[in-house]
Amino acid sequence: MTKEALAKLSTQELLKKHTAAKTMVWLLAIVLSGILLFFIYVSIQDGLTPLLAVPLALSAIIPLNVKHMNAFKKELDSRL
């Protein structure tokens, strides 16, 4: 989101978006960790599987969400 778009949101909306982003980052990290561990287990049992690339590729989403979460937090801090 751009700086202008964040400035137009109310404090309550920013707080909701920050909470939602934080929740999504944690849920995604937990799910991807679980999937990675499961695929490692499957690889140990049956041999190397290309499914190991899926959680590693999807983990690139986490830094983007953290960046948005930090932008929401910075805007909230500037208002208080």
Query: Residue 27 has what pLDDT?
Result: 97
pLDDT in tens, 50-77: 988 999 999 999 999 999 999 999 999 9
Q: How much is the pTM?
A: 0.81
What is the residue whose two structure tokens read 């978006």?
17
Pick from 33, 30, 18: which is nearest to 66 by CA? 18
Query: Residue 44 has what pLDDT?
Result: 93
**Helix H or strand E segment including 49:** none
